[in-house]
Each structure stands twice: as C-alpha cells, then as structure tokens.
C-alpha cells in the first residue's frame, strides 16, 4: 500500500542541488531501523553515496535522551512530555548542524531513522495538554528544522509491532507500553496532519523485511533519482 501526500512546503535539499534527505518513521516495532539499512544497501548497489543516521542522535543531547528512554535516568513526571519535546528539539538542531547538513552539502543521500514527526506524534500523545495545542507548540519548537525531501511512514498494526518488540528483546523503553502504541498507531495513520505540506508516503510494513524493502524502494527511488 502506497499513499502519497502533498509536496514539500519549504526549500528541500534536492531543490538546492545538494543531497537528498529521506526520513523513515513509524511506531516502535514498525521496522524503521531495518528499512533504513535495507534502503541504504539498495542505494550502495546503485553506487550512490549514502549515510544512515537516527534520532535521538549520537550527539551530546541525543545521548542524554537515550538514557531517559531506557530509564537509566528518570525525569520528573510533571511535564515529562514537554521536557522530552524540548530535548528532542535541541538534539535535532545539533543533529542537523553536525551531521545531516554537512553530508547533504557533499551530495549524500541521508536516511534518518526518525525526525520531527516522531516528536509531533509521541510528545503530543503523551502530553497532558490538549493535543492540538501540543502539536502547535512542538511545531514552534521545531520551526528551524530543515524539511525532509520525503518521509516514509511504515504502517503496521499495534499487534505486529508488539510481537516484533518482544522478539528483539532488550530492556523496556519509555514508550513501549502496548496501550500507548495503539494510540500512536492511530496518530501515524493521520501523519499528514502533523506535517502539513511535507511529501509523505505511507508504506504497508506488515510483510517480511524484503517485501517491505521493495515497497520502500519503489516509493522513493523516483525522488532520490532526481
């Protein structure tokens, strides 16, 4: 299943004659990391320069966020979602300046495992405020974030994602609760509302990794090839 939304609302990397900025999104267990790796391998076969990155980033703020996500440090419960949104926004600007934009200037295809759509979905759903108010505030925090050339949303059921999370093992993370992932699944189904004007493509992520990788490549190869 491929569903394409709107053209980008701002200048993007391809319009600047530079590299191409690709983002892969979805709920926890949707396969974002796997599909980033598969698409990068696909591009390398075609002899394209490609660099995989992720959010939270490997930078100083991103490292702090990962400690919070794995609950190795505990944030106060009061305004926790807002605190996380602020940390993610700070990490994103550092990520852009330190990693994404330098690679784009060198002509690479950058593939990011998550970007600001994750903040808009996760922090608006987990915040105590009205969702519409939270979304507007999170957008304002990220107003200086460069827009991707294309965002791929991997659509999977909460049940499929839960089975995948259990299969990969490891400690539970902050957002792993099944009931929360059900709400996040509904949010990602309407991802266009969070990033109006962005080029966004929904891909059915329920199949095996090879089948999903073929769908992802078919969806974004025409954009990357420009």
For residue 15, the model assigns a pLDDT of 46
131-141 helix and 116-126 helix, angle to the nearest 10 degrees: 150
Indicate the helix (H) or strand (E) that contains 73: none
Tens place of pLDDT for every residue, the chain, 226 residues?
555 454 443 444 444 458 999 999 999 999 999 999 999 999 999 999 999 999 999 999 999 999 999 989 988 888 889 999 999 999 999 999 999 999 999 999 999 999 999 999 999 998 867 777 799 999 999 999 999 999 999 999 999 999 999 888 877 788 888 999 999 999 999 999 999 999 999 999 999 999 999 999 999 999 999 7
pTM of the model: 0.89
> CA triplet 49, 12, 123: central angle to 5 degrees?
100
Query: How large is the greatest C-alpha to C-alpha distance in the chain, in angstroms?
Result: 49
Give the whole-angstrom CA distance, residue 139 versus residue 89.
10
Name the DSSP letter for residue 59: S
For residue 2, the model assigns a pLDDT of 56
Structure-block tokens of residue 150 = 């294309």
Counting the structural domains of the chain, the total is 1
* Of 201, 225, 204, 221, residue with least CA distance to 39: 221
For residue 74, the model assigns a pLDDT of 87
Which residues form the domain of 66? 2-224
Structure-block tokens of residue 170 = 């490891």
């Amino acid at each position: 299943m491929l569903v394409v939304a709107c053209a980008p609302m701002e200048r993007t990397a391809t319009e600047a004659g530079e590299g191409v900025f690709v983002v892969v999104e979805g709920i926890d267990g949707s396969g974002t990391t796997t599909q980033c790796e598969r698409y990068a391998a696909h591009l390398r076969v075609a002899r394209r320069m490609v660099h995989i990155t992720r959010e939270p980033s490997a930078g100083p703020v991103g490292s702090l966020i990962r400690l919070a996500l794995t609950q190795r440090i505990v944030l106060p419960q009061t305004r926790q979602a807002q605190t996380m949104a602020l940390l993610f926004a700070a990490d994103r600007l550092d990520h852009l300046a330190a990693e994404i934009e330098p690679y784009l200037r060198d002509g690479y295809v950058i593939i990011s495992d998550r970007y600001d759509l994750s903040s808009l979905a996760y922090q608006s759903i987990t915040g105590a405020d009205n969702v519409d108010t939270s979304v507007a505030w999170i957008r304002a925090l990220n107003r200086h974030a460069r827009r991707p050339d294309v965002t791929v949303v991997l659509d999977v059921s909460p049940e499929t994602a839960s089975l995948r999370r259990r299969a990969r093992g490891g400690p539970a993370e902050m957002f792993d609760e099944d009931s929360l992932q059900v709400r996040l699944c509904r949010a990602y189904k309407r991802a266009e509302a969070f990033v109006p004007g962005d080029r966004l493509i929904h891909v059915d992520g329920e199949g095996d990794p090879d089948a999903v990788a073929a769908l992802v490549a078919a969806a974004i190869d025409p954009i990357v090839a420009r």
